[in-house]
Structure 1
Amino acid sequence: MSASLPVTIEDIEAAGRRISGHVIATPLVASASLSKLCGVPVSLKLEHHQSTGSFKLRGATNAVLSLTTEERARGVIAASTGNHGRALAHAAKAEGAVATICMSQLVPTNKVTEIRRLGADVRIFGNSQDEAQEEVERLVAERGLVMVPPFDHPAIVAGQGTLGLEIATQMPDVAMVLVPISGGGLAAGVAAAIKARRPAVRVVGLTMERGAAMKASLAAGKPVLIEEQPSLADSLGGGIGLDNRVTFQMCRELLDDIILLTEAEIAAGMRHSYRQEREIVEGAAAVGIAALLAGKIKDIGGPIAVILSGRNVDMDLHLSVMNGETDPFREGVA
């Protein structure tokens, strides 16, 4: 692993000490059904059990606690597809700071409502994460707010990396980690932590076919713009930023692969999580299970850890998927 990476194992360990007591160390539980399917032990990292319903609380808490008193007093701001906004609103409120969250019109209503409940100033702007980010930058310039990006920030990546430290401790013989990927904050942090502790472990990113920004950027050799589209994995939407400074480099150097899932495969992952594992997760959290069910994970050499990243799904949408819907966003349906 390159010594020049923007986030190191020391940064992640420091984040772990900083956020201790503010987030929970989530369980890693064996899945009998997936272990039988794969022929190796498969365990699920229940990160959706965090108080805000997703892993995002780790990075947001680390970022807020890393700010000076003066910076917190100015207020924090971020663009979000929902889960980062909820986590940042929660972390800011706990420290007496005001959060402003900018989201596109694609963000599900249930996520917007919860962020407002936490006292954040919510701005709905544009039809993509990139357009919401434009509003963030305008308000930073106009009001002097402190930007806390959803993924491309060392403190965010270090906070998310604490999840990887937990997996390495909970499953010392882990051979592969399956991690949802969007902008790369979670994947970069987990990969940095896992490979620092267990260099031979394969870390594989999973995302939807519709708008796989990091996959397209890595293929192009640089950050690129992609069209954001509605998906069951809405939390994985959005670009990685053309001026990406942290996660593109880390994902390029640390990830072993990125695998794409269809909407039908993601729906199958959600159904398996509910029916077999008794866990309610959003589409973005089901991509690891989906990849295993679809037979898309190759060269399985040992125990697998699958990260279930969030539970903040619209329950009417969840019900429709449980009842057999495979693509509620296809033309003419949504």
Structure 2
Amino acid sequence: MHRPTLEDIQDAQRLIEGAVMRTPYLPAPRLSDLTGARVSVKYENLQVTNAFKERGALVKLLSLTADERRRGVIAMSAGNHAQAVAYHATRLGIPSTIVMPKTTPHVKVTATRGFGARVVLKGETVADAQVEAERIAAETGVVWVHPYDDFDVVRGQGTIALEILADDPDIDILVVPVGGGGLVSGMAIAAKALKPSIEIVGVETQLYPAMWCALKGLPIKVGGTTLAEGIAVRNVGALTLDICRDLLDEVVLVDEVHIERAVNAYLTLQKTMAEGAAGAGLAALMTTPERFQGRNVGLVLCGGNIDPRILASIMVRELAREERIVGIRLIIPDRPGVLGEIATIIGDMGGNILAVEHHRTILKVPAKGATLDVAFETRDGGHANEIIAALESRAFVVERREAPDEF
């Protein structure tokens, strides 16, 4: 199978120059402190469509003949490839149709339409969307633009590695999110050609380990709801699997909790937006810090298209994990002044009450009693324990709740 060479990727770099941003690659000292590695980040979320996919999509579109441009293009995507194809196709005057799963975040569907594409919502997964896209392509004669299993797409994505190696020739490891494999394949070709000693580590979610299974020759078993929907694929590409089999040093699997924590770390420590797929690389460093300890590691923040409501939920959930937001349940006598007494104790101890729910009709509570659920802010877990101890010292029975959203 014909795969891109370093020269093909360098040619792609010349093709996209001026049309795709050469994104910053910057040290991230706070992420280094968090993980123990020397971390730098490639900010692909700063592209016009807020994701790396513009590179491969544009190279593919520029390869089309005049007749192919006239007929138009079709793609399937959970969001970022969709926006990239839509944006550059519209810019080049090429009609575009994008098939997206019905489960695609609304923010990505709206953005894709905003870039000028006709959007078709079909199926629950990217695989379902691909079936519909292939059907439409066969019926109408439009050109299929695959999100990852394509020579031109792969060489376009590889330009990221050219930029990273130019900015940091001393890098030891590139940690790259893996869906169908287009990004990691292109980057591996370029990086290994320029620096054979560099390690290329791919990252998948535990729920969608398609490349991990394929490389090990295991049946591909995937499924479930993941924050990293951008890399939640059921099948990898034939071209990308061939490249990854030769050039990847390892594929690491990460769970949903670490992906959430990585997205939160990008926002709170780096002040930048990362979607779930983009958080996967940092999640790998958080999952197995000993693997990367003291190494010069490059992360690709591959996209920032995350639903704001999901992002807000992640931040609150992380505050709960850190016990900076705490939920408690108290059984109290149903008499005047008790709520005020509890509020005063929490306030005097430096806690800030966020929510209160008062229940009188729970059967397991005496008729003259009630339950009180309180969510409050603290400095940390130790501070939370001090507040609870103060309440218990006043004879209140306190039960810790797992999280405020349990109320």
TM over 0.5: yes
1:319 aligns with 312
- Rounded to whole Å, the distance in 2 between the matches of 1:252 and 1:277 is 33
Q: 1:25 aligned to 2:25?
A: no
Choose which of 281, 288, 291 in structure 2 pairs with 1:295: 288
- Rounded to whole Å, the distance in 2 between the matches of 1:307 and 1:262 is 18
Higher Rg of the two aligned structures: 2
1:180 aligns with 177
Q: Bigger CA drift: 295-304 or 6-15?
A: 295-304
Secondary structure, counterpart of 2:59 in structure 1: helix
| Larger RCO (CA under 8 A, 6+ residues apart) | 1
Could you give the per-residue CA deviations for residues 279-309 of structure 1, whole angstroms, max 9, x where no partner exists?
1111110111112122356155631111100
Counterparts in 2 of 1:38 and 1:225: CA distance versus 1, 3 Å: closer
- Rounded to whole Å, the distance in 1 between the matches of 2:198 and 2:55 is 23
Deviation at 1:107, TM superposition (A): 1.1
Q: 1:284 aligned to 2:277?
A: yes
1:236 aligns with 231
- Rounded to whole Å, the distance in 2 between the matches of 1:124 and 1:188 is 28
Structure number having the greater strand percentage: 2
- Rounded to whole Å, the distance in 2 between the matches of 1:113 and 1:38 is 36
Secondary structure, counterpart of 1:6 in structure 2: coil
2:267 aligns with 274
TM-score normalized with structure 2 length: 0.76
1:329 aligns with none
Aligned length: 320
Q: After superposition, where does 1:1-334 map in structure 2 within 5 Å? A: 6-220=3-217, 225-240=220-235, 244-296=237-289, 298=291, 300=293, 302-324=295-317
TM-score normalized with structure 1 length: 0.92
**2:209·2:222 contact (CA, 8 Å) conserved in 1?**
no
Deviation at 1:105, TM superposition (A): 1.6
Secondary structure, counterpart of 1:324 in structure 2: helix
Aligned AA (1:173):
D
Could you give the per-residue CA deviations for residues 207-232 of structure 1, whole angstroms, max 9, x where no partner exists?
211122111221226xx654443211
Aligned AA (1:99):
S
Could you give the per-residue CA deviations for residues 64-98 of structure 1, whole angstroms, max 9, x where no partner exists?
01111111111000110110000000110011011
- Rounded to whole Å, the distance in 2 between the matches of 1:261 and 1:235 is 14
What is the percentage of aligned positions where both structures have the same residue?
A: 38
**2:45·2:52 contact (CA, 8 Å) conserved in 1?**
yes
Deviation at 1:28, TM superposition (A): 0.7
Aligned AA (2:123):
G
**1:81·1:237 contact (CA, 8 Å) conserved in 2?**
no
- Rounded to whole Å, the distance in 2 between the matches of 1:228 and 1:12 is 33
**2:38·2:294 contact (CA, 8 Å) conserved in 1?**
no
- Rounded to whole Å, the distance in 2 between the matches of 1:323 and 1:28 is 29
